[in-house]
Copies of this chain bind each other. A is one copy, B any other.
Amino acid sequence: MQRVTIAQVAERAGVSTATVSRVLSGRGPVSAGVQRKVRAAADELGYQVNSIARALRNSRTDTVGMVVPSISNPFFTSLVESVEHALGREGKELLLCDARSDPEVEARRLATLVARNVDGIIVSPSHGTLSGAAVQETADRLPLVQLDRFVGGTSTDWVGVDDVAAMRQVMDHLHAGGARSAAFVGSLLTNSSTEQRFAGFRRRAEDLGIVVAPEHVLLGDYSVEWGETAAARLIAEGGPPDAIVCADDLIALGVTRACRAHGVDVPGRVQVTGYDNIEFARLSEPALTTVDQPRERIAAEAVRLLAAAAADGTDREERGPSAHISLVPSLVVRDSTRADA
């Protein structure tokens, strides 16, 4: 089963390869009769372009690379899904890489994507500082958009949500529910998501006079296990505050789970909030109050930015200043918080 090439189609149709190419790509003038002959020949032979050859010639692969910290995190999964759909609409393909939350793996993946001549890269950096060098270096060579998380000291486009505004909503809601003290459970402050969310949390807590004891800021990683551990610690050490604000839903699921295991009522004794609105936030018991990120929008904007960057010019210098698109997330109130005091 040898692949059919343009040359075979040309021979069969009795024309040159140039003409075949022109017919099939719809570029350049070709008489109607020849068009028909070529198309017929192509159909009969079952011709399909060889996109490798085309890519070499055009230096365009119609493929976008995406690097996420972890495929198994449901939030990133749904981001991937949204990006995949957004790309599909433009006839582009997605080359997916998992960085396993390791900046070194991430750097290797980025390098591979560059070598593969992807048209652009969408990355949610694993680390707030260690990811910097690789991301910047990649951005110097290719259109690159950071998604959700970003890394400091780089000048690239970014699309995400306004974490600080989101946290303001969360805190206002908790305060309305009667919370006068709160804890924050996040990952280590090595990525922008936790950083921003923590900053928003702290600021609004101050504004509202919500007490945050120093030992009530617990940093680990984005996992259910860490949520359970953190909650257990809060419960053991003199009882939890009125509210536990979590940096993502996985942590929040762990927290509510541990609370229930220890007989601490949610939201009666302690209110709990998550972040991301993954599907299981809705399904847990009690259903999680959380912050919904507009993933489809985020994905669509990211794809748009890439396309724009690609159109602007290959050279990074020629492109304008980098865009920072901050979308407004919305609070989804469910059963893990109290509607009012």
A residues bordering B, Cβ < 8 Å? 1, 48-53, 55-56, 61, 63, 71-72, 74, 77-78, 80-81, 84-85, 93-98, 111-112, 114-117, 140-141, 224, 253, 257, 260, 279-280, 283-285, 314-316
Contacts and interface: CB of A to CB of B under 8 A. Distances in A.
Closest 4 CB pairs of A and B: A96-B96, A71-B81, A285-B285, A52-B55
A79 to B, nearest CB: 10
Stoichiometry (number of copies): 2
Contacts of A61: 52
Given A48-B114, A50-B117, A285-B285, 20 more contacts: A1-B141, A48-B111, A51-B117, A52-B116, A52-B117, A63-B95, A71-B80, A71-B81, A72-B77, A77-B77, A80-B96, A84-B97, A93-B95, A93-B116, A94-B96, A95-B96, A224-B279, A257-B283, A260-B285, A283-B284
18 contacts: A48-B111, A48-B114, A52-B55, A52-B61, A52-B116, A52-B117, A53-B56, A63-B116, A72-B77, A77-B77, A81-B98, A85-B98, A93-B95, A94-B95, A253-B283, A257-B283, A283-B284, A284-B284
A77 B84 contact: no
